[in-house]
Chain A
Amino acid sequence: SQTIHQWPATLVQPVGSPLSLECTVEGTSNPNLYWYRQAAGRGLQLLFYSVGIGQISSEVPQNLSASRPQDRQFILSSKKLLLSDSGFYLCAWRGVDQPQHFGDGTRLSIL
């Protein structure tokens, strides 16, 4: 069966520091991969999605970036975090003609 892992589960970072969040999927090949941000009491905002290695589409211009160095690995990064980057970050995957499945997220607090 397929599983998705995100780490770390929680992260506290100072303003201006770099960021790297990792997401990996097991048990499937060539999944579509997604990064979302969920603000408190609000819906999910799609940040990036990827249909293959090295293929990244950005939905929202910001100081975050994403990379997909391997088929089942998706990384969310920032060179300098802003206070507004605080939130709950979710990674998701999907197979062909299947709904999206989510990881358990990373809660990011910027101080």
Chain B
Amino acid sequence: QKEVEQDPGPLSVPEGAIVSLNCTYSNSAFQYFMWYRQYSRKGPELLMYTYSSGNKEDGRFTAQVDKSSKYISLFIRDSQPSDSATYLCAMSARDAGNMLTFGGGTRLMVKP
């Protein structure tokens, strides 16, 4: 079993839809949670960064962490074709970013 599981997709949605991307993990020591967006042939770009449980909102993006269920989510409101990319979750136990464990990524396609 992988330490971090992420549905690879692809997930196809119409423009304007609400998108929910999820990761589950097995290591209860994880405390720092990140979401990266990766466009084709580019490096991952940090989207959201949260510590411990709770929600964090930034524009159209909301990150949610449920440590009791070992489950994290990224919601995208009013999705746009420019949101089409692969979304990677990442997490760390000791501090914000030293040794990250990544999910395999979910490919999202937003159709106009």
Q: Which residues of A contact B (CB under 8 A)?
A: 6, 32, 41-44, 46, 49, 90, 92, 94, 97-105, 107
Contact = CB atoms under 8 A, between A and B. Distances in A.
Interface stretch (B41-49, B59-67, B74-82): B41-49
A107 B41 contact: yes
B104 A32 contact: no
Contacts of B104: 41-43
Interface of B: 4, 8, 32, 34, 36, 41-46, 49, 88, 90, 95-100, 102-105
A41 B8 contact: yes
Q: Which of A100, A101, A105 has the most CB of B within 10 A?
A: A100
Contacts of A104: 42-43
A44 B96 contact: no
A99 B97 contact: yes
Contacts of A101: 46
A99 B104 CA distance: 18
B43 A94 contact: no
B43 A103 contact: yes
B98 A94 contact: yes
Nearest to B8: A41
A44 B88 contact: yes
A102 B34 contact: no
A102 B42 CA distance: 9
Contact of B103 (A43, A46, A98): A43
A98 B96 contact: yes
Q: A-B pairs with the 10 shortest C-beta distances?
A: A102-B43, A99-B97, A43-B102, A100-B97, A43-B104, A94-B97, A104-B43, A44-B102, A102-B44, A105-B43
Contacts of A90: 43-44
